[in-house]
Structure 1
Amino acid sequence: MADDTTRATLERSGAGERSGGIASLVDEEVGLTRDVVEARLALVESEAMGPRLPRDVGVLERQRPSLEAPPPGAEGNPRWREYVAYYEKRLGELEQGKAVEGPLRWASYERMWGWFTRGLAFERFMVNVLREDAKLPRAQRRFLGDFDRPRIETNVGVKKPNSGLCYADVLLIEENEFSGWPRRVETFSFKSRDFSGLEREAVKAQMMEDAREALRKYGETLDIRRDSLHRFLRESSDVPVQRVRLVYEGGGLKPKKAKDLKAAVDATMREVLRVEILFQ
């Protein structure tokens, strides 16, 4: 578990402290280029459950937001500019007849953004945790004990026939090449998800959904799209993944009852093989 110091660091770097727009989320050091951030934000937006405006172009034109007239509470909020740009882009897509949902309402967009930025903060935190873990003697590592010399790569483009291009939060590759052995490859998926208000069955259902998605996108056999990694993969970019680690942010986001958490984790790992569930 994260100690009090690292937990406080994570909280300070989360949504409440990241007051900028998309540009403020770019972090080249962990692979969060602007293209990656925009692609991941688009995915989160498409899955957001908050209230949306209708797909009716006429209605959207009449309710078009203005940079000069933000609603109460949005004055001075840098995300209002992002929201106006997002709204205009979505309106343009609908005018072109594209099959997309109507835009999120402002309050829903702001809430979605908050969870998105919190998730990126947790990802940065976990990347640092893994890098520190890799420095330890192999027997003392929590996450990387199955590797001799783990290579930690962040936000790696991977493809599968049934999921298209996705970005693995972390791809681990064994740098030592053992003669006659397949090179070990694992992936990590990090999530900030609030389980605290869910009942046992709802926790299990959500965890099952997340684990199946992680396996579908980042497990089994992946086509690694980052050219610089191909030298570790012998002659093929298609590599088998030994394990997917799905790591949730813990603390106040965990289920309130420890037995509900254990039941959900145990059931998910029995059902979705090669996915390990962890809380940090």
Structure 2
Amino acid sequence: MRTLAGGVGRGLSLEDAAALEARFTEAEALESGARLPAQLEALARYRPSVHQPPSGVSVTESRWVDYVAYWERRYEELSGARQWPPDAPPVKPPLKWDGYNAFRGRFQEALAFQGSVARVLRQDAGLARGQRHWLRGLEQPLVMENVGLAHEGRVSLTYVDQFVVDEASLRPGQTPSVHSFSNKKRDFKSMSEDVIDAHLAADAREALTKYGGTVEVRRPGHPLFGRKVNVSRVHLVYDGAEMAPGLKVKLIRKAEDLNVELHFHAPQ
């Protein structure tokens, strides 16, 4: 069965697929691209067919197949035939094809950036303790992606990009040391410093709200599964490609005042 995220999640574990679906739903709800009518009778006139793609799109194009599945599921959600996720933003009509195609491209770029950051974190974890840059102070860091976190008073889970636990801190009588990482692939080249500062403040608030504080770990197989823990440190990771070194230093200092640790990563 195809999900809203479609082919992006092929080959993933059930836990990672659930995280991907939740993230896709959240990101798509915030997308500003043009949408089709919300009224069901009017929307039905735009029902796409796998066998009749737009001009220039092949019938074998997987993204078009995914779009048709996305459209049909959104139609069912609008009609009430399929349940909308609890705590999710109000259900919206499907994006038009061009908007969906562009959105899916950005979504996949963000996932690739997340994967690149995870590889760097695992490499850092493999270094001697005194040589680590990202995971300073951790004795036995375990890096996992897409860990589901439950928060008091919320129904839906939030899924953190990377969740790092110091396994040495899991010994009896010790308080678990856990770090959460939020990855943001943003193009800062055309932004003024004031706009960049605004993004930093918003991203820091979001990371602290979603991945900070006291959380219950809901990832099966995780050494903290089912336990409530306090997140020791929240990290924010930006794409550092083509960003001036001086600006990076300024943003790192500003992030400290916002109670997050900021890193820059340029995927190779």
Structure 2 length normalisation: TM-score? 0.83
Match of 1:266 among 247, 253, 258: 253
Q: Distance in 1 between matches of 2:177 and 2:138?
A: 8
Counterpart of 1:166, as a letter, is T
Counterpart of 1:152, as a letter, is V
Match of 2:34 among 36, 51, 54: 51
Q: Distance in 2 between matches of 1:66 and 1:229?
A: 42
Q: Distance in 2 between matches of 1:45 and 1:35?
A: 15
Q: Say whether the 8 Å CA contact 1:207–1:265 is kept in structure 2.
A: no
Counterpart of 1:22 in structure 2 is 6
Q: Distance in 2 between matches of 1:248 and 1:27?
A: 27
Counterpart of 2:43 in structure 1 is 60
Counterpart of 1:154 in structure 2 is 145
Match of 1:186 among 163, 171, 179: 179
Change over 3 Å in CA distance of 1:27–1:192 after alignment to 2: farther
Decide which moves more: 179-188 or 113-122.
179-188
Q: How does 1:103-182 map to 2 (within 5 A)?
A: 103-161=94-152, 163=154, 164-177=156-169, 180-182=173-175
After superposition, the C-alpha distances for 1:68-112 in whole angstroms (9 at most, x for unaligned) are: 221123224310111111111112222229741121111111111
Change over 3 Å in CA distance of 1:262–1:52 after alignment to 2: farther
RMSD of equivalent CA atoms:
2.6
Counterpart of 2:191, as a letter, is L
Q: Say whether the 8 Å CA contact 1:22–1:37 is kept in structure 2.
A: no
Counterpart of 1:243 in structure 2 is 233
Counterpart of 1:269, as a letter, is E
How many residue pairs end up in the alignment?
Answer: 251
Counterpart of 1:171, as a letter, is F
Counterpart of 1:85 in structure 2 is 69
Q: Distance in 2 between matches of 1:24 and 1:43?
A: 15
Change over 3 Å in CA distance of 1:139–1:49 after alignment to 2: same
Structure 1, unaligned runs of 5 or more: 1-20
Match of 1:220 among 199, 213, 219: 213
Q: Distance in 1 between matches of 2:109 and 2:51?
A: 28
Q: Say whether the 8 Å CA contact 2:6–2:69 is kept in structure 1.
A: no
Secondary structure at the counterpart of residue 191 of structure 2: coil
Q: Distance in 2 between matches of 1:139 and 1:157?
A: 30
Change over 3 Å in CA distance of 1:229–1:67 after alignment to 2: closer
**2:78 is the counterpart of 1:94:** yes
Q: Distance in 2 between matches of 1:73 and 1:265?
A: 45
Match of 2:17 among 31, 34, 42: 34
Q: Distance in 1 between matches of 2:93 and 2:205?
A: 27
Instruction: Measure how far apart 1:56 and its partner are.
Output: 2.0
Name the one with the larger helix percent: 1
Q: Distance in 1 between matches of 2:11 and 2:130?
A: 31
Structure 1 length normalisation: TM-score? 0.80
Q: Distance in 2 between matches of 1:153 and 1:26?
A: 19
**2:204 is the counterpart of 1:211:** yes
Q: Distance in 1 between matches of 2:11 and 2:141?
A: 22
Q: Distance in 2 between matches of 1:117 and 1:216?
A: 24
Q: Distance in 1 between matches of 2:152 and 2:172?
A: 30
Q: Say whether the 8 Å CA contact 1:173–1:185 is kept in structure 2.
A: yes
